[in-house]
Structure formats: C-alpha cells, structure tokens
Structure 1
Amino acid sequence: MASVVYSWLNAANGSSQRNVINVTKGGSNAQIKFVFEDMGGSGGNIDYGLWSPPYTVKINSNGEIPWTLNTSEVPQRVDLKSLLIHELGHVFLGGGHTGYSGSCMHTFDSYAVRRSIGWCVENVTHDYYDPPKNVTLYNSFGGNGLMKVDGSQYSIPSSGKTFYWRQSNFPHTLEAVNNQNVDGYVWVFYKWVKGSSHYDNNIVVTINPPASSTVNYTANFDPTYTVNFKNSFPGVGNAGTIKVNGSTYNVTTPDFSVESGNTIAAEAPYQQYNGIYYTFSSWSAGGSNPRTFTPAVNTTYTAYYTGSLQPVTITSYSGPAGTPVVISWVPNPNNNVVYKVHRKIKHQSGTWTGPDLLATLPNTTSSYTDNGCMFTNGYTNDLIKYDIRPYYSVENISAPESWVTVFGNGTFVPKRIAIASGLLPTENSLGSYPNPC
C-alpha cells in the first residue's frame, strides 16, 4: 500500500520532487486510510473497491474476490495493487473515470493489470497539485527592451516573454531595467502593472503565484526626450547664445533630457554678434519669449532673430585750418557692412540743405576725407554735419541717422571749398583710405 501511495505522491510532485504534498503515516492522524470491508455482492455484481471522499479507500473483503499481488496469477485472480492504484487515483484527483481503456483510471477491470499511473495521468496529477502558471512580461514601450528575472537579464519582445513556472517555484523577482535607450528615447521606469491594475512602484518586485493560470506583468516607463536649442540669424544661421533654465549657453546647446510631462525653460536674449545686433522674432514652436516648453518628441527648438545696426563710433573729426575735413570711426567687424557718408550744409544766415550721399565705403575703411570742405580759422561761411551710416547688405538694413557737427581745432569751423560746378561729385565710392579724390 505504501508503494501505491508513493507512486501517486511522485506523480503529484512531478520531476522536481518539490514535496508539493506530503502524507502522514500511521495512527489516527493518517491522511489516507485503507479499509477492508465486506461490501457484499456476488457473481458479476461485485464492487471490488470504492473510494469514499475525501481520503478513504475501501477494499471488498466479502470472501468471494480472489486477491493477489502476483501479476502472473491474473486474470484467474484480481490484482490488488491495480485496484489500489485505481481507487487511490480517485482520492488524489477527486474525479471519475477516463475513457482511455489503457489508463489506470479507466473503469476497473478485474482481468487487467494496470499498475502504472502513466504519463498522461501523471501530468494531470502534477498539474492538479502543482498547477503551472504562465507569467508573461512586457515593457510598456514595446519591443527591443530588457528586464531582469531572478537576477538574469532577458530581452523582452513586443509580444512579451512568457515564463512557465509551477506554483511551487514561486516566489520570483522582477527588475525593470531603468534608463533604457530604445527607439531613440531614454525610458525611465515609474511603476509595475499586474494585468490592468497598479502593482508596485519599486523597480524590483517579488511576485507570488497568481490565482489564475496566466498573468501579465508590465514595467511601465516614461520616455525621456532629448532637447536642444539653437538660434537663426538671417544670413548667418546658428550663432550667438541662448539661455536654458537660467544658464547661458553657446549654440547649438548641449542635449537636455526632459522626462515626459516635464518642462524646460528657454530665453532668446537680445545680443550682438559680429557687429550686428539681434532681436528675438519668434520660436520655431511658437509662443512668447522667454517661454516654457513641454516636449513630446526629441526636438530642436530654434529662436529666430532679426538684425539691426548701431551708428558708428566717431573717433576724430577735427584738423588744422586749411586742410580738408577728415572724419574717423571705429569700423564694424562684419565684412557685409559698408558705410554710406551723408552730409548736410548750412550756409551763413541760410538753412540746412541735404542730406547728400557723398560716398559708399567698403568695410575695411575707417575714415573719410571730404575734399569738398576744409577747416578755417573762424566761422565765416558754412556749418557742416556728417552721418557715417552703416549699411548691412544681408538684411538690407541701415543704422539710424546719427549726425555730428564738425569743428576745427580750437575755435575753427569748417568752410565749404568753392569748386567749379560739376567737379564736386554728390557720391564717391572709395575702395580704401586715403580718399584718392
């Protein structure tokens, strides 16, 4: 009888032999009882044995059944072990008979020897006492990701990865792999979901056997977007500086990581670059300046600018009496800036005339000699103003007017030189200083 019990125990415990179930031997505490009892019957109407739920096997001892443990005596005698295997199957499985005639759980046949439980019934028994659990694991961002299971790292496809574990194999540990770089985004873990319900916020969790045969666990991640900033100066492109979260950076800025739902602040400042003054016009993503961005993809935010010019700084506009008027200035460093020299004249007791465009000078020029006017040793004739006006060809813009009145040394004032009509041009384009005119 003990060997029959252990046959079923082995079936229940499976190949792992994890002692899914145990039995207590002997005494009133015995979990399985075998009872020899006169169950009556005669001829073809005999119950050879009977199981009485939950744990009792009754063996008919009416004196008419020729029991044997020697299989060579079958079918003249009835194999007691085959009966015990059959009836104990009812105890372990709690069910009825199978339709397969070769199974030990087919309706008992006194003329057959069925001492083997068989792989099919054994698997059923093992599944009954140590049910398999199909645990499928996912990452919320889909495929090409990773996850650690019981300390070992696995690739998790978009269809999930399923582990087949017996109930006795539990518990298991799952660990989300944080900051994975998948499909161009860095993914930051924030919670576990079991089925469709929140499970845990810890990156490492322990899972116990589920009540159902299948269960899904999903590591949920938020994407982290890669964001940077640049400027767009007309005709120049990306140059200058920009402020991000209060700090100033040369553009293009370094990459900033912004987790989904979070924000990043930027400001496009008024700035001077290579002699041109740039004022913010618009963002590529729209909005005011400064502004806060909430990225939803990896992106570059561009600040668009318009340029402007400031008047030149005059460094000298005086000279000895009798010499032509010479005006000097600090040159603009931008090679696309030229200088347009304008002049106004007020004759004695007259009104201002002009302005006249005297010359367009290249960027390398830093002074202009007006051969049409000279310094005198007193105010006798003309008062003259000059405007050295920068012009930026890339944006077709000029600096605002900025006139200076020219005086001579001491009390000298300039005097207009009388030149024959037609000999004094209204505009000179000079390639370099000094003026060849």
Structure 2
Amino acid sequence: SGAAAREARVLGGGSATVFPAHVVAPLDGLRAALPEGTLSYEVGADPNNELDVAGQGFALRAVCRDEAGEILASVPLAGGHIQWMGSDLPDGVTYDTLHSIEVTGTFTPRESGEHVFGTRGIGGFKVVIAGRELFEGSVEMGAATDPFEAFFGQPTERGRLELTADEPVELSVFHTVAKPEGLPIQAVGFTVLHQNPVHDPDELIARAAEAARGAETAVVVVATTERVESEGFDRADLKLPGRQDDLVRAVAAANPRTVVVVNAGSPVEMPWRDDVAAVLLSWFPGQEGGAALADVLTGAAEPGGRLPTTWPAVLEDAPVVNTTPTDGKLEYTEGVLIGYRAWEQAGRTPAYPFGHGLGYTDWTYESVTVEPAAEDGLTVTVRVRNSGSRAGRETVQVYL
C-alpha cells in the first residue's frame, strides 16, 4: 500500500531533476517479480493532495514548432515536465526559432472519478482534454525573488473532468514559449499537472488495513514529496507528509509482518519504527528502483547499504536545528562537537546512527588489534566472520 508504491519518487527536485526514459515503480517491480494474482494493492494514503507532474497513465510527446507553425522536432516525454536549459533543446530546435510546444498524447486513468488538470509556467496555454477545452489564456511572470521560481511559476488548476478507469482520453496542452529578459541562462520550461480523484482518507486507510489483515506479508511504501523535500528551500520538519504515519500504524496493527519502504532523500521521523517487522530505506532509487526493490524484498539481493547520516527519533533531538543566518551570519557555536560527539554531549540516542544498516546474514566480530604505524599513526585490524547462512557485506567502523 501507499501512493508512493505506484508513483515512486525516483530522483530529487529542482536542478537535480533529470528525465529518465522510463520508471519502474515499486508496484510494477513487485508485480513482475511475484506470481500473478499473489499481490493486491490499496492506496492507503496519498500525500500528494494537490496537483503533481503528470506521470503514471500518461503517454506524451512534445511537438516543437517555429513561429510559422512548422514542426522543428517531436520527442517522447517520460512525464509532463519540460525543463530545457541552454543546449538541452531537442535536435533541430534552437532557442531563437522555438515558438511553441504542444504536449500531446493520451491519459488512461487508473480510477474513475473527478480528475483535475493544471499547468505550471509562464506564457500562453491552451488545455484540451477528451475533446473539451478547459483553459485558454496567458500567464505572466511572477514577482518571486528567485528568477527561476518566477519563471516556472505556481501550479494552477485549469479544469476538472469526470473520467472512467482504463478508458484512455486524448490530451493536448499547447504552450506558447515565453522568453523573459534577465534569466541567467536561456531556459524553456513548463509543466502539465494532474491530480487523481480525492477520497476519504479514513476510508483509504481502513481498506489498506483490511487488505493487510488477509495477506501473508504487508509492504507499505511511504515517501516525501517535492513540496516538502526539494532543492531550493529548507524543510520545515522531518515528518512524512499526509496521513502516511497513520497508514503504517493501521497496517502494522492488522499484520505484524509489515515491511515499510521509506522513499526519501534525507532523514524522516518514523514514530512506528518499533511496531513493524522491517524498515528499508530506498532513498531516491533511480528509474529501476521498483525492480531493485523487488530483488531485495524477494531475497535475490541483500540490502547492504549503511547510513551516511544520523537519523533522530524526532527533530528536537537533533544537535543542530537552527541553520538560519542572523544578520547574514551563521555562528557555528558547537565548535568541534559535531556528529556523534554532539549526540554524546547532549546525552541523547538517535533512532539510527551514522553507519547503521542490517542485511540478511549475521556477523561476529572475533578480535581487534591496534598496532603503531608510521608517523605516529595506528593500524587497527578487525577479524570479522560471516556467521550466518547467506552471503552478505559488512562495514567496519572505528571511532577515535
């Protein structure tokens, strides 16, 4: 369960965005790896309670035209987001000759109900879905202090349509390219947005818990969203957005064999961590994330990673929470008391320390020797034995 199971967040936001040729979501990866009919799915909780980039269910192309309407290029799109910087333009297209871009294709809904469509960006827009014109007009550049934020604009709803599950509809978003002065780089960018029908959150969680009750194993995928974790702004807290914590608690109460997959790029609070059978951190896994996740959950591969950061149980436990400069200055009052030293000084215990990580085997540390080395150094030798029944990997850590 979990909305992130069907629409994984495979990469970070802002300038970290790239455009993979395809994306394997966790649900797709598990369906391909497991026998047919053995996997059921419930949304459970959807943190994307607003317009998001058109993705799952959309088959799109970008048709680039010059001012006379002649086609310069037609290229496939992995999703509804176009962000071409400098020389990133498709072959045959230049910034000077490009006048309009039409995002065209089909959308096949996964569920029936009222679907919302929108755009983000400046310039002219004409939005036609299923033969109905939802919007035609122009959007001016905003007054944001960040020129790129002003250029890409705010997500804006353009219309709603009642659609039927599994019945594809034609889509066309015609965009007249804006070329404002003052940008540090020649950029072309806008986004086609979509939101699935909104359902009662309590009902969604109840349905997920009921499905988990009858399952051998329950897998919940939770995630951050670009609204709470992205390049260009600080996070306000470490909480998972929406009702995802409630979903995990309900599923774990229904099935003790619950595995939680955390799809995030940095620490999040996990108040349910002691109530579930396992927690797997997938980070932002890239386009093959769903296939890799299936390999790990089925045992074909071991989750051998170790944390490069320390994760607090709650944000307030973290040694440093104030990183906002005052009068242009940020004082590092902690001095050398950073990292694990800061936790020791505060007398607090993190939920998961730097270097933490488990796998599918057991390790025994049999001996350690410390010997002098050249230039007043030391050589530490550790004898480690894989005392379990499977191959695996281990990372030895030494703290001075």
> If the length of structure 2 is used for normalisation, what is the TM-score?
0.17
More helix by share: 2
Using structure 1 for the length normalisation, give the TM-score.
0.16
The structure whose residues are more often strand, as a share, is 1
Name which one, 1 or 2, has greater alpha-carbon Rg.
Answer: 1
